């Protein structure tokens, strides 16, 4: 039989409760910012020509329980993904419920927030159909929380065509969350 001291049980309970609290509540102020990941690739098999590429995720507070996001992902093949919208806090994720794609599947992009990263998940790959080129995709992309920087160009984002489109789409959603 295994016995644990009350202090150990108390410490484990506190740890578990803190993880449950984290999973249930995301403070949008704590994740707002710009995240970047840089990677280097080669344009040929011998790697004679090198290039630098960058993935970007911008998150701007929209309300106490929603954010505007914009992401650009690039791939070694030269393909890319571009998506933006308003995502709601749902458990441990920011979730974007977009419209139906050209295959009549709803785009649902989850931005899972963990203790060290934001990981993207494209449910049924429905978001990539209309917003990525041939070999691009969102699932598996992630951004380390340590790369978060303050966005110093927020007025430019709020004045952008993408932001206006995202807000208009969000306002048309039939089951938009109460703010």
pLDDT in tens, 85-100: 999 999 999 999 999 9
Average pLDDT of span 15-41? 72
Angstrom distance (rounded) from CA 115 to CA 134: 32
Do residues 95 and 77 touch, judged by C-beta distance below 8 A? Answer: no
pLDDT above 50: residue 10? no
More confident residue, 132 or 5: 132
Do residues 118 and 57 touch, judged by C-beta distance below 8 A? Answer: yes
Q: What residues have CB less than 8 Å from 173, skipping those under 6 apart?
A: 97
pLDDT above 50: residue 169? yes
- Report yes or no on whether pTM surpasses 0.75: yes
pLDDT of residue 3: 56
Domain boundaries, the chain: 28-172
- Cα of first residue to Cα of last residue in the chain, in angstroms, is 50
- DSSP class per residue in 48-59: -SEEEEEEEEEE
Which band of pLDDT confidence, cut at 50, 70 and 90, is reported for residue 78? Answer: confident
Share of the chain above pLDDT 90, in %: 65
Do residues 125 and 152 touch, judged by C-beta distance below 8 A? Answer: no
Kind plus residue range of the DSSP H or E element containing 10 = helix 6-24
The per-residue pLDDT of the chain, averaged, comes to 84
Angstrom distance (rounded) from CA 86 to CA 128: 17
Size of the chain, expressed as the number of residues it contains = 179
More confident residue, 176 or 102: 102
């Amino acid at each position: 039989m295994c016995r644990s001291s009350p202090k150990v049980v108390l410490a484990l309970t506190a740890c578990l409760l803190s993880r449950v609290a984290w999973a249930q509540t995301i403070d949008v102020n704590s994740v707002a910012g710009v995240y970047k990941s840089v990677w280097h690739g080669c344009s040929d098999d011998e790697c004679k020509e090198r290039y630098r590429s960058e993935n970007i995720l911008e998150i701007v507070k929209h309300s106490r329980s929603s954010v505007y996001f914009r992401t650009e992902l690039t791939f070694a093949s030269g393909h890319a993904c571009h998506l933006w919208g308003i995502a709601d806090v749902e458990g441990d994720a920011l979730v974007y419920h977009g419209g139906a794609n050209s295959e009549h599947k709803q785009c649902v992009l989850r931005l899972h927030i963990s203790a060290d990263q934001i990981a993207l998940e494209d449910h049924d790959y429905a978001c990539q159909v209309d917003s990525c080129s041939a070999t691009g995709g969102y699932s598996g992309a992630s951004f380390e929380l340590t790369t978060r920087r303050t966005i110093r160009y927020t007025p430019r984002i709020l004045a952008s065509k993408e932001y206006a489109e995202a807000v208009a789409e969000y306002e048309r959603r039939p089951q938009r969350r109460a703010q």
